Amino acid sequence: MRLVIDIGNTFVKAAVYEDSTLLERFSFKADVFQNGFKKIRDSYPNCLDWILASVGLVSAEQLAQFFPDVRIHTLDRQTKFPYINAYKTPDTLGIDRMILASGAVLKFPDQARLIIDAGTCITYDFIDAQNVYHGGAISPGVRMRYQALHHFTAKLPLLEASETKEFIGNSTAASIHAGVVMGVVHEMDGFINQYRLAHENIIIILTGGDTDFLAKRLKNTIFAHSNFLLESLNQTFQYQIQND
């Protein structure tokens, strides 16, 4: 039994696995991580292997300080991944993107993969059928676009993401929703179409916090999995064990 942990800037997502079987998922704010992990610890006292990937402020050292009886395994750039990294600036590549690429290779062998992670930012990561990671793209996420329109203008209101299928907004609020939501959808569909033109046998994986909100709006067929990073963490750790 193991706990896989994805620490972001705002939220911590975690899941307990028995080998490849998901037992339970958790999510809590990073600023209350002690209470969040204590609840997991109380529920699963025999779960002593914690696999960690962090792009946030909570570190392995902090977890070890509060939970000294667990074994913390950190996945970082020195981790052995099942692909060749052809990124020209590998030291700047986020560990979350590297782990998502690893999960895509392990789950979908012998084909090209495009991973779209719709979170604070939207990242696009491409791994070819020969398991070479090439890179992709980064753009503002849904919430960031709403915030930018409000922050960088004098009068536009700050709105929350809203259900809309209209591309013509008949009010300021409707225009913002159309610009943000439909803008993201058209961006994603455009990228997907471009990759499919270049690579016939390609799987499109959509993940991240806005997965459910965006998946039903895309014209293209995709594999939608909002917790693909947690699954990828577990798969990558199993890969390490098998290839040590």
Q: Are 155 and 175 in contact (CB under 8 A)?
A: no
- Report yes or no: 105 and 83 within 8 Å, Cβ to Cβ: yes
How would DSSP label each residue in 162-228? -----SS-SSHHHHHHIIIIIHHHHHHHHHHHHHHHH-SSEEEEEESTTHHHHHTT-SS--EE-TTH
Tell how strand 112-118 and strand 2-7 pair up: unpaired
What whole-number distance in Å separates Cα of residue 129 and Cα of residue 47? 36
As a whole number of angstroms, the distance between CA 127 and CA 84 comes to: 9
Active site residues: 96
Cβ proximity of 16 and 44 under 8 Å: yes
Q: 229: which 2 tokens?
A: 């990073």
- Angle 32-10-222 from CA coordinates, rounded to 5°: 130
